[in-house]
A and B are shown apart, each in its own frame.
Chain A
Amino acid sequence: MAKRFGSFLGDGDAGNSFRCEEIEPLLDREEEIVFDFGGVENLTDSFCNACFANLAAERPDTVKSNVRFINCSPVVQAFLSSALNLARIRLKQTPTR
């Protein structure tokens, strides 16, 4: 992630396009994805939620089975955990069809 975005992942639009253009096609093919956060110092909630909260809200089972986060500092883990919790909240609020 640091090689792709630098040490600060701040841009919500970039997080959203990364999810839609690069990550979701991989998950469509049921590939496993490891996000390496080594070298990432800081994020914004906008980036983290646009990318990971939406991913987990829209594909909760696939994320559980096919996604891993490695080399996360406590700060990075706090952002990611918050995003995953937001996804759970959004899932609970989404009416079942």
Chain B
Amino acid sequence: MPNSLRLTLPAQVREAGGTDLSAFIDMVLEGELIFEADGTRGEVTVDCANVELHTPACVVAIAALADRWIAGGGRVLLLNQADKTGYAAFDPRSQTGGPLFVAPPLFEFDWATGKLETIASALASACAPAGYEPRGPYPVVQYCCGELFSNCRQHARANAFAFADFDAERDLVRFAVADCGSGLKQSFVQNESPHVHPSVDDVDAVKIALKPGISSTTRARHPYSRSPNYGVGLSMVREFTLLAGGHFFIQSRRAWLYETAGRLPSQGNCQVSAGWPGTLVNAAMPKVGCGEYLDMLRSAHRALGLTDDTPEDKLFG
């Protein structure tokens, strides 16, 4: 087994269909093989020279894996990233095996101590610099990133890398969050969830996790009481993306699933190694699809069977 690898990133990785992205992840996971070999101190060189159009998942995938490899004693070299959106946030020090540095709009979220509201809001600002407005992408991105970071804290229990931007040329608001934590199936199994039998595969675990009302921590011991989770967040992220007419992609371990509005989801298994070492979510939605936030919120809630027509009106002053 060689202990070095050169990854030449492709020119384009688009969202539609999910196949570009799953192929990209397959490619970068070849680096995992370098570091899985016992006793190696591998080296991966990532060459960004050809990069023209990459979806945010590509950036967070490289960031998360580079962080993982460096933490494991490996060495990661990034070349020609200086003028490439997202990749430019890597500090050249990482080429010497030093700590990976990220700069906005690429963020590292510390699952144990990170202030998730601050980072989610910064990611929303990267897509909509004017800040919170009752219509448009800001509150949608803020909500989605907040939910994805909550999952990192409560389920994956692992740091995450996140990136967001607005692709003006394609009118696409884009964000991605990747962690190298337990992955969806393992989270269900570790928490003895009644929703997933240990024998299910990663594809089924992804589909189950996307059902509203399914949380891996239903039976988990919690410091206060029973599980505080209602299993809504990930389903809502998917629902918001589809409502806006966008592209939703999730990969957990070997399984990936892609979905866009009005079409059946496509899914598959990655071919390399044990798959993505955690969970990765990528969303891209047309800015024009992000209308009144209140309307989108109500529609998403209704689609998941969560009505907001409460009979408790007298509670509201």
Q: How many residues of A contact B (CB 8 A)?
A: 46
- Given the known interface contacts A11-B116, A11-B150, A75-B134, the answer about A20 and B315 at a Cβ–Cβ threshold of 8 Å is no
Q: Is the CB of B315 within 8 A of A82?
A: no
Q: Is the CB of B117 within 8 A of A8?
A: yes
Q: Is the CB of B153 within 8 A of A45?
A: no
Q: Is the CB of A11 within 8 A of B117?
A: yes
Closest residue of chain A to B147 (Cβ to Cβ) is: A44
Q: Scoring B residues 213 to 249 as 1 if CB is less than 8 Å from chain A, else 0, what string do you get?
A: 0000000001011001110110010000000000000
Provide the residues of chain A in CB contact with B228, threshold 8 Å. 12-13, 15-16, 19, 49-50, 54
CB of B24 closer than 8 Å to a CB of A: no
Provide the residues of chain A in CB contact with B132, threshold 8 Å. 7, 41-42
Q: Is the CB of A75 within 8 A of B293?
A: yes
Provide the residues of chain A in CB contact with B297, threshold 8 Å. 75, 78-79
Q: Roughly how many angstroms separate A34 CA and B317 CA in the complex, as a whole number?
A: 9
Most buried by A among B139, B312, B317: B312
Question: Among B38-46, B255-263, B264-272, B301-309, which stretch is in contact with chain A?
Answer: B301-309
New contact pairs (18) apart from A8-B121, A16-B224, A81-B312, CB-CB < 8 Å? A5-B117, A9-B117, A10-B150, A11-B150, A12-B153, A12-B228, A12-B233, A19-B224, A42-B132, A42-B143, A44-B233, A47-B146, A49-B229, A58-B225, A68-B316, A75-B134, A80-B310, A81-B309
- 24 pairs across A/B with beta carbons < 8 Å? A8-B146, A10-B142, A11-B146, A11-B153, A12-B229, A16-B224, A20-B225, A42-B139, A43-B143, A44-B150, A45-B230, A45-B233, A46-B154, A68-B315, A70-B317, A74-B294, A75-B297, A78-B298, A81-B308, A82-B308, A84-B312, A85-B307, A85-B308, A85-B310
